[in-house]
């Protein structure tokens, strides 16, 4: 589903962030990227998403070269560390946002959002304001919103880092079940090895911008 060939990214100050990275994720597979601060984990995610310019190498999605394709045309879902939910929208309208932007029919939006809210166990909170949700509930809304447009790949950038340890473990297990059930191809960035092992089918380590399979 996703393949990077010899991908390198260099920051504006000339410092290399990624060096000749070869990386492959099969359809429906969950892969975790582990590494210390500054190892290049988030940069690799941003390069896949089209938010970071690739200086050399290629990024392929389902066999198609997307290296130069703008981020909004890649059909890749993102879940950020701080969730980046819309505080002025309730749970339902956060999840429906991407579908509204794609001009889905209202009946199809309702069906898709209802299905996802049931999947993440938030169906009874569809009208609840975002600011009145717990951290764990907000995380599940963020996942549902990212899954709504049926992305080819879901990217998760330290999605549990703002939560306490017990809740992180619980949500990691729950999220793996959701991704497995929906057969979603996913790449998770984390600094927590236990979290990576709980969620992923395969774990890679990043060190100084270079990738090492565990």
Q: Which residue has the higher pLDDT, 14 or 188?
A: 188
Tokens of 100: 């509204």
Return the percentage of the chain with pLDDT > 70, whole number. Answer: 99
Say what the pLDDT of residue 162 is. 66
At residue 186, the pLDDT reads 94
Max Cα-Cα span within the chain:
50
pLDDT tens column, 22-55:
989 999 999 999 988 888 888 999 999 999 999 9
Residue 124 has what pLDDT?
92
Three-state SS sequence of the chain: CEEEEEEEEECCCCCEEEEEEEEEECCCCEEEEECCCCCCHHHHHHHHHCCCCCCEEEEEECCEECCCCCHHHCCEEEECCCCCCCCCCEHHHHHCHHHHHCCCCHHHHHHHHHHHHHHCCCHHHCCCEHHHCCHHHHHHHHHHHHHCCCCCEEEEECCCCCCCHHHHHHHHHHHHHHHHHHCCEEEEEECCHHHHHHHCCEEEEEECCEEEEC
More confident residue, 61 or 11: 61
pLDDT of residue 33: 92
The string of pLDDT tens digits covering residues 128-159 is: 999 999 888 888 898 889 888 888 999 998 87
More confident residue, 76 or 1: 76
Looking at residue 214, its pLDDT comes to 62
Strand partners, 128: none
Q: Which residues face 31 on adjacent strands?
A: 187, 202
Give pTM, 2 decimals: 0.85
- Which residues are CB-neighbours of 109 under 8 A, at least 6 positions away? 96, 99, 100
- Give me the pLDDT at residue 154, please: 92
């Amino acid at each position: 589903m996703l393949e990077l060939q010899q991908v390198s990214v260099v920051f504006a100050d000339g410092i290399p962030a990624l060096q000749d990275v070869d990386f492959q994720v099969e359809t429906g597979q969950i892969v975790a990227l582990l590494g210390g601060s500054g190892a290049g984990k988030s940069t690799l995610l941003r390069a896949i998403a089209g938010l970071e310019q690739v200086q050399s190498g290629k990024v392929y999605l389902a066999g198609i070269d997307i290296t130069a394709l703008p981020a909004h045309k890649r059909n890749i879902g993102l879940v950020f560390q701080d969730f980046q939910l819309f505080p002025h929208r309730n749970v339902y309208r956060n999840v429906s946002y991407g579908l509204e932007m794609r001009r889905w029919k209202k009946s199809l939006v309702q069906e898709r959002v209802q299905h996802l809210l049931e999947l993440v166990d938030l169906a009874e909170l569809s009208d609840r304001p975002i600011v009145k949700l717990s951290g764990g509930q907000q995380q599940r809304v963020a996942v549902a919103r990212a899954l709504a447009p049926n992305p080819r790949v879901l990217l998760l950038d330290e999605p549990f880092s703002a939560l306490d340890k017990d809740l992180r473990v619980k949500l990691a297990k729950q999220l793996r079940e959701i991704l497995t059930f929906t057969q979603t191809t996913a790449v998770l960035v984390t600094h927590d090895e236990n979290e990576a092992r709980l969620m992923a089918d395969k774990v890679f380590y990043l060190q100084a911008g270079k990738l090492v399979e565990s």
